[in-house]
Structure 1
Amino acid sequence: MHTWSERISAKVSDIGFPVRRLLPSRTARHIGPFIFLDHMGPAHFNLDQRDNDVRPHPHIGLATLTYLFSGALMHRDSLGSVQRIEPGAANLMIAGRGIVHSERIPEDIRSSGTPVEGLQLWLALPVALEECEPAFIHYDRDALPSWQQDGSRIQLVVGHAWGRSAPVAFPGDALYAVVDMDAGATLEIPPGFAERGIYLASGSISLLRYGWPDSAYLPANVR
């Protein structure tokens, strides 16, 4: 079996706040069902500037997962959903045949100067569900399995790994976990996926490969 890894560098853009995009890249159009990976911020917002809210826009045929490291966002959509998301929680939006949504910076976050930072992941739906009814589900931080293991603090957001299951109801085969590692800690990445990726939000890591699958990607450090 041929086992390899590739380092992916981010493309940086400014849409009223900085966004670093890892997927898709020239050599990796997707990793499993993950077709876009955007790192938003960190960004500060003030009370006078409003053109940096993400105004209403449509999605179709996919799902988005929003997860914050700091700050907050207010989600609204054409289903009537109104939901504030804060660090450690997850917003899953299944666009299906079509949905319109916006993401705005709450007034208290603007007035306090709290930086907003997080990830938005876009996932391809199974072909049979690309035109399903749209849906939006919010998961509080306490609803997501969290534990400590071998010097790492792990929060499982999507999928099944390390003997645990996440409640996030993405209708496909996917794994997404947030890991905060102590210096010198090691962690085995769960097997069983044709493609696996590690996104390094901050710090540095070394990858020791023991039977990684045919397609595995180690994204570049973005800070």
Structure 2
Amino acid sequence: MSIDKLTANTKNVGGIPVARLLPQSRRKTVGAWCFLDHAGPAEFAQDSAGLQVGAHPHTNLQTFTWMLQGEVWHQDSLGNRQLIRPKQVNLMTAGTGDKRGISHTEQTPEGVHDLHAVQLWIALPMDQEIEPNFEHYPVLPEWEQDGVQYILTTGNYLGHQAPTTQFSPLVGVDMQFKQAQSFNIERQPTFEYGILVLKGEIEVNGKGYGADELVVLSDCANADDGLQLWAEQGSHIMLLGGEPLPHPTVIWWNFVADGKEALEQAVTDWNNRHPRFGDIDLQGTLLKRLVAPELPKNFKG
């Protein structure tokens, strides 16, 4: 087993601290998880409009929003409008191939002045014909065991199963520690794993990791490799795992594909209002339709 440490690139986006852990130049994916932002915690001024993300597209991925604090309206080109609250998941599927796609907006409701969420993307397997879709999961498996509070956001873990739709094997687990303690994680031999520290500190084989750092565990086939984990009291982590996809995953802007040509086509289609991305009525809102930037000539993915 190999252990790697990724530190976030953190930016302030409209008053929200956003720590990006994936993708990075030396690590693009953990299993099929191909994008990982830790947004917040943030408090908006009373006169602030909060989060206002205009209409933008996606291809060949699922957006996976895990809400920790605050509320956000999701609206998409399939006609869905859904409010997400803490301990809930919004899962939007863009579909696969160069004929499918989806677009959406995100807004904090009027009167809501805080936000804390983990925003993830899941790359879809390109050998499957997958249609665009949206699903909201208001209730997920939640339990306490050996001093740890668990919420299972996707997959199977410790005998529990989440209802979240998957197209490749994945797991996502929110874990909060009531006391300082050692702990274990259930591992599948074909999975890669990432442990995102949201709050507090953990140790992996004696090395410390703090907030907005990601521990990546790969080559996990040997379950008896001496992995030692410890968390301080009050720590909050998110465990992510999955099987790597059998094809390359390249990302540009809000698009995922298995090659540069598909990304270029997606940029052209969105900017020319191709019907594959549908439409969203933005009248009466603060939102605009975003423009996709062109790929640089030296783009390598």
Shorter-normalised TM-score: what interval? 0.7 to 0.9
Over aligned residues, Cα RMSD in angstroms?
Answer: 2.3
Aligned partners of 2:44 and 2:50 also within 8 Å: no
Letter matched to residue 105 of structure 2 = S
1:104 corresponding residue in structure 2? 107
Q: CA deviation at 1:201?
A: 0.3
1:201 corresponding residue in structure 2? 198
Letter matched to residue 54 of structure 2 = R
The CA distance in 1 between the partners of 2:137 and 2:9, in whole Å, is: 29
Higher strand share: 2
Aligned partners of 2:187 and 2:220 also within 8 Å: no
Give 2:12's match in structure 1, choosing from 14, 23, 26. Answer: 14
Secondary structure, counterpart of 2:27 in structure 1: coil
Matches within 5 A, 1:117-196: 117-129=116-128, 132-140=130-138, 143-192=139-188, 193-196=190-193
Instruction: Give the length in aligned residue pairs.
Output: 208
The CA distance in 2 between the partners of 1:51 and 1:197, in whole Å, is: 30
Aligned partners of 2:34 and 2:122 also within 8 Å: yes
Q: CA deviation at 1:171?
A: 1.6
1:55 corresponding residue in structure 2? 54
When the two structures are superposed, what TM-score results if normalisation uses the length of structure 2? 0.64
Secondary structure, counterpart of 1:26 in structure 2: coil
Q: 1:177-199 deviations in whole A, cap 9, x for unaligned?
A: 10001222333111114311100
Aligned partners of 1:151 and 1:186 also within 8 Å: no
Q: 1:49-79 deviations in whole A, cap 9, x for unaligned?
A: 4484011100111001001111110000001
Q: CA deviation at 1:206?
A: 1.4
The structure with more radius of gyration = 2
Structure 1 segments of 4+ aligned residues over 6 angstroms from their partners? none
> What stretches of structure 1 of length at least 5 have no aligned partner?
none
Aligned partners of 2:90 and 2:137 also within 8 Å: yes
When the two structures are superposed, what TM-score results if normalisation uses the length of structure 1? 0.86
State percent identity of aligned pairs. 38
